[in-house]
Structure 1
Amino acid sequence: MIVSINPERSEWSDLVKRPELEQQDLQSLVNGVFEDIKKAGDSAVKEYTAKFDKAQLEGLATTREEVEAAAGLISNELKDAIELAANNIEVFHKAQMPSNVEIETASGVKCWQEPRPIQKVGIYIPGGTAPLFSTVLMLAIPAKIAGCEEIVLCTPPSSDGSVNPAILFAAQYAGVKKIFKAGGIQAIGALTFGTESIPSVDKIFGPGNQYVTAAKQRAAQLGVAIDMPAGPSELLVMADQSAKAEFVVSDLLSQAEHGVDSQVICVVKSEDQIAEIQKELEKQISVLPRKEIAEKAISNSKIICIGDDQSCVDFINDYAPEHYILCVENEDFYLNGLKNAGSVFIGNYTPESAGDYASGTNHTLPTNGYARSYSGVNLDAYFKKITFQKISAEGIQNIGPAIEHMAEAELLQAHKNAVTVRLDYLNK
């Protein structure tokens, strides 16, 4: 990890930068794939699946037999774990159910707001080096609670054309009936335009790499809503002398193993902590099955020593981490000063992986500094909130003159007339 000791604030802008892949013009690639899918539908999705995922597919939809067989291909312990996690996710998200708001803003002027579920949602489940079946629960369960009419799941197949059985089991458990073998840019393109097999949707949910993130942003330009720009995973640990080095390192590596473009940051209060953390890092990374991936991510990651609490808080808010682990004695100071983070994990016994799997909070979170302006996925994300108003004769007489003056001042005569004709009618 790159070490920085008491950096000047002028250096922070470089320290909070995320790693970027060296690649061809990403947007040009996305646009090309989207155009092909718009023109050729299923056949284009299959061609790109063969190119990118090395899978030759006859059909894009998973069969009933594949879904039903999935339960027999995973252990009972994993099925029990999925059910426990699903229950906690359901409990936490049900508690977020929005309510109607109704008020009379002036005598005779009644306004109210009602949540209505988004009708068609698409959920993208990364496969690749790590099949994220937990993301199925995180995205499908809130959609079911909200009452979305159609849930369409896309996930990349293995080279043999199969879908990881844990993904299929989680989807079945969460009530998802439309599951398709499509990943990356082509999956997002299919959800945007619709193909012969894959329905178009109103909003796309789910994390992914830079390709998926760029594709989601293109979908948003084409009129399909997205949850957030959720790209490569990241984590920041704030640790003082009360933190356990082995716990800190285990959390850093839990995110570093996601992908080579992941980034982890460790902010410490004392230089004495650095050597201990580096030693523990070498010990733990050496035995990881995904050692090569973690090592590449760690090479883009940093240990930063900042001596005073307020500067630590300011740096954390500048970085705006997706995952924020707080292991300090004076945690209230840090929590009260927090402005930007996707999800927060407090204390030595709260690993980030608890939120990834089974505590109940959602793990689809804003990355790349978007925590400054985006929330993680929550139940609100599956609703539109529609406003209503009903104005009586008394009400239009109360607020009508104000509307007339304002419309006239904006040179919008027809707006004024819409009120004037009503007031004239009432005054006759």
Structure 2
Amino acid sequence: MIMSGTIGRRGLLIGGGALAATPVIGHAAAAQGRRRRVRTGADVVAAKGWRELRGQRVGVITNPTGVLSDSLNSIVDAMVAAGVTVGGVFGPEHGFRGAAQAGSSEDTYVDERTGVTVYDAYGADATTFARFFAEAKVQTVVFDIQDVGARFYTYIWTMYDALIAAGQLGLRFVILDRPNPVGGRARGPLLIDGFTSGVGKDRIVQQHGLTAGEFARYANGVLLPAAGKKAVADLDVIRVEGWKTDELYADTGLPWILPSPNMPTPTTALLYPGTCLFEATNLSEGRGTTKPFELVGAPYVDHRWATDLAKAKLKGVEFREAYFTPTFSKHVGVVCGGVQVHVTDPSAVDAIAVATQMMVALRDRYDDFAWRSGDNTPGRWIDLLTGSSRFRTQLDGGASAASITAAWRAELAAFDRRRQPYLLYRRGR
């Protein structure tokens, strides 16, 4: 999720860009000829006239995904119009209105539409949030952002630091919950001590299988006490209504609004917990194309990679030989050979296992395959993304994909057990 480069806020707002919302209709809804009614936490509280927030001075952590499903209006715009006192908005990575690229944010400014001060909260730690909350005279913190379920997607860590600050200041914290587009199943390795960073601040697995509300409950009940932090005494989650954790996002009837500029579709989100690992290699992960995290390749890759991957017969995906020329990020203006990952059965996709097999095949086929250059410590970025040095050392040591994925089985099971008391939505198997 980290990358250099910015786009001017006004220019992108005028042009549309990352603010575009795409209604996504799934097979079941299309067959019925109507939209299935799933209501987000924001929809639920708005339908009640925002009464849970009236009489309080509210600070809102949100971005372009924080909208009401029927009108597609920002929750901040709706709150202000309804008379809720909004003391400040806190914009995470990409900003409140979504005008910044990965690794960037919008500067602090006064929002022209509402007159509310928008604070640049990307990279803010708990101390900074505490200062922001005090300056904005916040009594209740509201969080409403569409997450995509990967440990290295930074929005949950923005909430994590805001929770710490709210606990210190004795503030109420309310999460307006949204579906996890990759479902409720946890997958992948656990982050361990010594490998925390802005893309993983505490011990959860790579695909955590939690909604934002469930993560907040888990962080408040497990992570913060273990870190010696004061938990939030008044933590509320306004639940999603009508959603099952094994339901495809397309079948919710909810609009898909880009959570970040390189997350254009729910299919992108399904693959991202795995194919984001290619950020740590010398391959393009598809940034600068219309299919980020679905197209992966490099100038040295040819048709043999797709052939090798087809033999693996991975569940839920197929690989097509593909060629593309990135317009930004890695290999700008250079033709890259590689693959497009096609999702054939979304319910069967294990994105982390897919990415692991892709890397093993690259290692075995191409001598040019390497970890991303430019890091002070070679391979450090893959260690931060996977949560330890184990993935890298196994891959470098010639381990099979099956051996690599088996290595995290016990820690994944233990995490799954720990999270059970904090779940809000029933899991299917």
TM-score (norm 1): 0.25
Rg larger for:
1
More helix by share: 1
TM-score (norm 2): 0.25
